[in-house]
Structure 1
């Protein structure tokens, strides 16, 4: 029940507040040490970076989900959208997948990633864990932690803390050496993540104090905090952000932009998250981090049980690096917030502007600061509203779009000579270009360009649209239809003020690029990538969607002039829709099941062990044991399990089943047999909000005592549940008499506590058992969170903790002969509560034990050259896991980024490698049928594809398909700066 980030709860999650994980009101941040304060500091009104008020516009990305060769592309796209910060997780099992082996090289080179962030002029927020969530396998914990007796996560536990410390000894020096006071980009550090008990500066137990002590010991000097700050899809909600008791700025470390259940953009995403962003800006927020701006891919075996290869997230920058509409709305908010960070990072709410507009449909908030004021006019409705703004003796008209929060600027100092007295037109961005201050404003055809300036000395202009009256300068013009931005210019002393008036089409295509410490404005391109200066020539790369059919003019604005850039437009290119995969080769991967197979170096144990016990991190494993059958007949094998299973008897496929069901029926002949079981899973739970032992949590494969008995099946599910609310002390009096007036029907998995602390009785009846039954086991997979078990009114067992399986046995033969009243008293202390998973009964009683197991994890080596034969096409499954291999040819085209995806049509469950790179698991669990092949992993020419299908289904229908909408054309353009 505490698995509150499950896919089926997406709609609910996107509407709930940041109190979801118990962070309460503590959104405080520990201050920087004295040595770091000159570089990163804060007060109650905002952040200061290098002594300057700085609005932090942060993008959540995971270097673990991006090939290193594509880091720069993704980071540059983020920077071009106005972001000044990158937030990352440093996922533990990504860096220590096997115990004691640490990897910070290649795609795992955290130091190189942070240096790249620094080289691009951005900051970084590093979330060091040790828990991460992130829809990542096991929440980021290394699987080997499951096999440490007595280990409990996220609570005071010396053993867990020992392994955390060892990891931090390798991780934290990389982070500390990249702190801003040491020349790096790191300005904030988060310890832990979404802990149910400790957020901000709260440290409820010694576990938190241990993490703090370790971080400080290793050298964390920048500000830090626990768990996160204001996680929500709408972090502001309806609340006010100003809080005189808070000693630090308001910041959201997880502003959920779209969701991990989505692929690609859907209509309305841009408007929805645009409004939620502007709410932060308008109500006193001092920064935000979108989670995610680029989601990326779950390469290898890193996905959890809610996703597969894609972690696209519906984000601004797609899985393949393409730009969605929300990218441009993110850019608009980012450039505005950073343009006016001197106001937004040092302001208070101001009610003196409340009568600026008489239309009460529009809501007004305002921020007042020593640097100037910003008045925000909020149209929460679904229709555009035209209104008059009353300023002095004038009435000025403006139109506020549906859902828009429209900013008006008042008394903002542009330079030592000129103040922007009023901007009644939307300001897109302000940038300094030497002695020129450029203001980019946004107005559609027919709307007013309405700007008023106050100068310290007389102004001059050659533009008749710029009106000068003493020390007042104004521009009041109706926006025309445009083929390029409209330019207005005036000078005061040696300072120039330039206004570039654009419509939304043009501002979306406007980028402010810093090259050699000078700002260059480029407008007209869908995206501007690399920009360099060589021999006084500005060289830039313009990127357009592959499917664009016409060129667009790109204008460059430098300090003193505007230039139409030369374009090297390429004719439209049609990427082939697909590439056929032929000449398939096959390799049987079921040899591990053969009777005569020699299981050398396999893990040996009396009872089968969960997957990962042998150190393997893949989602596949083989088990072997011998069974001696006394007489021919139908038998039931019982063993705990998680995932999917395939049984083989003497090397031949016998049955498939869901391992979670706990039992399997087999037809067996008298004699000795080799029993082999292939187990696979689709990712482990991310353990959101989980505290406690992990040895039995979400185990995969088969494990525990294995029994086999003639007859069956013996396990059945209990239904017909009822519940009634209770008080905490009621448990001591025993369960109340059951009746259907007091007790109401209950469905397993339902929260009866409304996400609050509470207590309740749950009741059902166990049917009378067949004659001769002398033992019955009650199988509880998860109750949320503490449960006391009563049999016929008598207390027999107490269990604490959710998401932990336990059993209760009934061995009184007299009791088993009659229907049994089963009653649970459940205590819930946080979030949802009740009976998480179905409760089952097991009547197998005494049975033959299957012992002496062998286990080996992994699918085998996909690169191994021997054993391949030509595939003979068949419509039937080949019966167990098989490798398949094919090749395909890709022709790279100069100036084009072509995106290719693998479509596993017709296949079952499995893994795919391209040229030796593991590109992830299928099938996808989100609305995309194919998965992304990073272009950096493709050869120009021949490429090799290897598929491991766990179900043995043939790949004859699968193919390489084009994602044309994600492809790009890169065009070099240049301008003479003389």
Structure 2
């Protein structure tokens, strides 16, 4: 199986990846051990955490993409949205950048992060790898793995398993010491990630068994699984989630919300993913993890080749911590599913029982029944609002003439026979329930209704209830709320009644108010606060509840607030605040430092890595995206010469210290003019992130190397490499004997083919591909045919004769033609391609190389890194520089921040006019530019800034002008902060 991950093939990913790796794969979970069973367990209907049925509402985020100073803030935002769990990767090259040097401190202090998770009362799902994907450089593999002989990743390969074990020896104790049965937050563990062969409890080979044995030997006691469970942008699919054969709950470890190609919210996102979430709830799902709930940033050199510094993901909590519309849909689904988790985690499908409940057949019905009560879901899949009568036997009086309005695409929940406490049962709630909150002797039901909507709730009580609310109609052992939602409801509409020792409070709010409603707890007591845009920290002191309130910078009006405690409502207000943030900060007085000194003929290279042939970037243990190469050339006569060497990324060649040419290293050759004599060749190499190696198995040294590598040749003339593009194909019979050779080329049989096209319609199949290579110039002694990738196995024929066979997709290989007679004529090149799953064909370019005999360029030197960005010496005032060269350059300056008066101003660095490079603010690397999203500026975490003077250093690999750059405000992400004290008595 092959999965091609690109932003442009999102649809392909959703179809091929979802169906092949998720819905059709094993989704079983290995059971908990006996010692952990009282703390985390499950059966076929749901999860049981500390003896209680628990719906797991999880938020995906990566601590590696968040400065540790902001961990608490981001986790608190997740908690406030009703999530009870987080899910993380423990990315290998984040903790072992250089071989044998493990780092679990500062931003890499996983133990501290998990302790904060526990402190906030959240659970954790930890995905320990060793592969991660995650749009992260090299998929999370340390670069040094590429230089280990015989190492094959994600296979039963002893060298690979040896290094995995060493990493796990440091990683797993941090995780396993924090399992829930040991007082920590960890409730589930995932081994491996999105492996093509093994998901759930499937262990196809010794590699999986090795990972399992290692983890168990080191003390894994909570439930675990391989690779993932139900990855998709719409995990519920057609809604058939019940499975009698599955021994464990249904859970999605990657419910993709929006996508990594997006910054910020766009219209329709919230509604789309809201519906897809409610499909899970309505059809028997027992939990989900949004990937992502908060994206964060790719600081330093951690981005892969699909993104740059931002990993905003367009999701609920923005890169800078701001809250988007989808955040509130997350919150709404979270609180509902947690409020009714004793139903949702122990239910069976009751859709048939309630199938006629909606009179309008445009409304589809699904339902869940359990000992704790029933939930019925009215699904309007259409584009228009539907108002329908309900058919509830025996309740004609309650419903006579009344209709329920279901919005377009909405899944509307009804509640039946749900026990609130020992005194009261919620017989029917025909109004949307937002949440149910237990507050000592008060049970608060928050319902969501717009102006004019019917408020319909009926309760059964053990004894006759009493109420001071005239709108509550009381019977002998039941009571009814039957009202219309007022048109002007700036504050919640409250209904209360008492039954025995219990108080039931119903708070009716419109959508705007439920968005501003926060269910919070401290010291074992729950509070409901409504009217605030966001509630952060809480504390209780001297009879007062102290609240950190937050308002968007662009919305600073006063706010009317209600606090609901056990049996009491307290009104208060917050005055308007001032918080004007300047839109830009100009950057002037730049200093300059030449970053191309390594091109100079007399540079001291004694400490550089030396080798016969050039080695890929990272061979010298450097982890940056920049490197310098040096070698000597001995040119026998003036003229045009072509240098050939394998490469990856961008480059710039220097001859005797002077810029000679820009170079696309992936082209594998450079043609320049040289004069007779000895010359010093220097090559600057850079890349924009390595491939994440999704679904890749095999030798890691053969894929996505950067810089220069392999044999280097130089020859007068050229260029010698050209692309083959005039291809034809014809489908082959499965039983065709490939040993007979290809069928004769005939355009009535063969059809035109464009490289990259799928000729198999995502299915298994076989085909012949043909091209005629033009006759080469006289004297050509060797012609190499260079295949970058075929999908997936290829048998190669030259003039009808089989000459080679290659197995595997996304692996380069070459075929050499050296027969002198053959090279005197055009050559028929034919491929027989076998495709076994998904798309297939010649998926990447095919080139020919006619350089033949050439002079080897040997004795290379390598030095990785851009140089010291924080160096104190070597700087010159930019205005004093006569001419800035079009070569790598450092720039630095200082800037002052205006006072934020305790609020959070969000600042970004705008690299306008620059090429490619990195930015440091106060010594912290913000990541790579240019951005690949709509947001082109780089987020500066507020914790990395300081009052007064701050320093910015820029490394521009292209040496572009720095004069248009500036610090800009992201006003939409800025927040006004105010500490509020509310008397509790």
Q: TM-score range by the shorter chain?
A: over 0.9
Deviations 1:420-446 (A, max 9, x none): 000000000001000000000011111
Distance across 2 between alignment mates of 1:17 and 1:103: 34
Deviations 1:745-769 (A, max 9, x none): 2111222223333222211110111
Deviations 1:277-331 (A, max 9, x none): 0000000000000000000000000000000000000010000000000000110
Name the structure 1 match of 2:956. 949
Q: Secondary structure at the match of 2:357?
A: coil
Name the structure 1 match of 2:304. 304
Mapping for residues 438-457 of structure 1, pairs under 5 Å: 438-457=444-463
Name the structure 2 match of 1:62. 62
Name the structure 1 match of 2:710. 704
Name the structure 1 match of 2:792. 785
Distance 1:649 1:7, change over 3 A: same
Q: 2:410 aligns with which of 404, 420, 428?
A: 404
Name the structure 2 match of 1:593. 599
Q: Secondary structure at the match of 1:280?
A: helix
- Residues 276-285 or 779-788, more deviating: 779-788
Distance 1:14 1:523, change over 3 A: farther
Distance 1:110 1:876, change over 3 A: same
Distance across 2 between alignment mates of 1:349 and 1:389: 20
Name the structure 2 match of 1:88. 88
* Conserved? CA contact 1:566–1:974, under 8 Å: no
Name the structure 2 match of 1:314. 314
Distance across 1 between alignment mates of 2:23 and 2:422: 44
Q: Secondary structure at the match of 2:162?
A: helix
Deviations 1:531-564 (A, max 9, x none): 1111121000111100114111111000021111
Name the structure 2 match of 1:374. 375
Q: Secondary structure at the match of 1:459?
A: coil
Mapping for residues 565-714 of structure 1, pairs under 5 Å: 565-567=572-574, 569-571=576-578, 573-714=579-720
Deviation at 1:830, TM superposition (A): 3.1
Deviations 1:451-507 (A, max 9, x none): 000001111111110011110111000110212101000000000000000010100
Task: Please say if 1:758 is aligned against 2:765.
Answer: yes
Deviation at 1:15, TM superposition (A): 5.6
Q: Secondary structure at the match of 1:389?
A: coil
Deviation at 1:807, TM superposition (A): 1.4
Unaligned runs of 5+ in 2: none
> Runs of at least 4 residues of structure 1 off by over 4 A?
14-17, 873-877
* Conserved? CA contact 2:600–2:656, under 8 Å: yes
* Conserved? CA contact 1:641–1:699, under 8 Å: yes
- Residues 282-291 or 823-832, more deviating: 823-832
Deviations 1:223-270 (A, max 9, x none): 000000000000011140000000000000000000000000000000
Distance across 1 between alignment mates of 2:158 and 2:895: 53
Provide the TM-score with structure 2 as the length reference.
Answer: 0.98
* Conserved? CA contact 2:495–2:506, under 8 Å: yes
Task: Please say if 1:521 is aligned against 2:528.
Answer: yes
* Conserved? CA contact 1:458–1:492, under 8 Å: yes
Deviation at 1:895, TM superposition (A): 3.0
Distance across 2 between alignment mates of 1:935 and 1:120: 22
Distance across 1 between alignment mates of 2:126 and 2:734: 42
Name the structure 1 match of 2:33. 33
Distance across 2 between alignment mates of 1:13 and 1:807: 29
Task: Please say if 1:357 is aligned against 2:358.
Answer: yes
Name the structure 2 match of 1:906. 913
Distance across 2 between alignment mates of 1:873 and 1:271: 56
Task: Please say if 1:977 is aligned against 2:984.
Answer: yes
Distance across 2 between alignment mates of 1:621 and 1:937: 27
* Conserved? CA contact 2:581–2:900, under 8 Å: no
Name the structure 1 match of 2:551. 544
Distance 1:246 1:927, change over 3 A: same
Unaligned runs of 5+ in 1: none
* Conserved? CA contact 2:303–2:689, under 8 Å: yes
Q: Secondary structure at the match of 2:58?
A: strand
Distance across 2 between alignment mates of 1:903 and 1:160: 41
Q: 1:922 aligns with which of 911, 929, 937?
A: 929
Distance across 2 between alignment mates of 1:109 and 1:704: 38
* Conserved? CA contact 2:609–2:863, under 8 Å: yes
Distance across 1 between alignment mates of 2:361 and 2:577: 52
Provide the TM-score with structure 1 as the length reference.
Answer: 0.99
How many residue pairs get matched?
977
Q: Secondary structure at the match of 1:813?
A: coil
Task: Please say if 1:715 is aligned against 2:721.
Answer: yes
Name the structure 2 match of 1:196. 196
Q: Secondary structure at the match of 1:583?
A: coil
Name the structure 2 match of 1:795. 802
* Conserved? CA contact 1:57–1:288, under 8 Å: yes
Deviation at 1:406, TM superposition (A): 0.3
Distance across 2 between alignment mates of 1:303 and 1:398: 49
Deviation at 1:834, TM superposition (A): 1.7
Deviation at 1:850, TM superposition (A): 0.5
Q: Secondary structure at the match of 2:659?
A: strand
Deviations 1:16-46 (A, max 9, x none): 6623437733100000001011100000000
Name the structure 1 match of 2:180. 180
Q: Secondary structure at the match of 2:977?
A: strand
Task: Please say if 1:342 is aligned against 2:348.
Answer: no
Task: Please say if 1:726 is aligned against 2:732.
Answer: yes
* Conserved? CA contact 1:29–1:201, under 8 Å: yes
Deviation at 1:867, TM superposition (A): 1.1
Distance 1:873 1:431, change over 3 A: farther
Distance across 2 between alignment mates of 1:36 and 1:791: 63
Deviation at 1:819, TM superposition (A): 1.3
Deviation at 1:407, TM superposition (A): 0.3
Name the structure 2 match of 1:330. 330
Deviations 1:347-372 (A, max 9, x none): 01111111111211110000000000
* Conserved? CA contact 1:309–1:919, under 8 Å: yes
Distance across 2 between alignment mates of 1:21 and 1:354: 33
Distance 1:452 1:92, change over 3 A: same
Deviation at 1:784, TM superposition (A): 1.8
Distance across 2 between alignment mates of 1:137 and 1:211: 23
Deviations 1:153-190 (A, max 9, x none): 11110110000011001000111100000000000000
- Residues 400-409 or 922-931, more deviating: 922-931
Q: 2:942 aligns with which of 908, 914, 935?
A: 935
* Conserved? CA contact 2:611–2:861, under 8 Å: yes
Distance across 1 between alignment mates of 2:834 and 2:155: 20
Q: Secondary structure at the match of 1:35?
A: coil
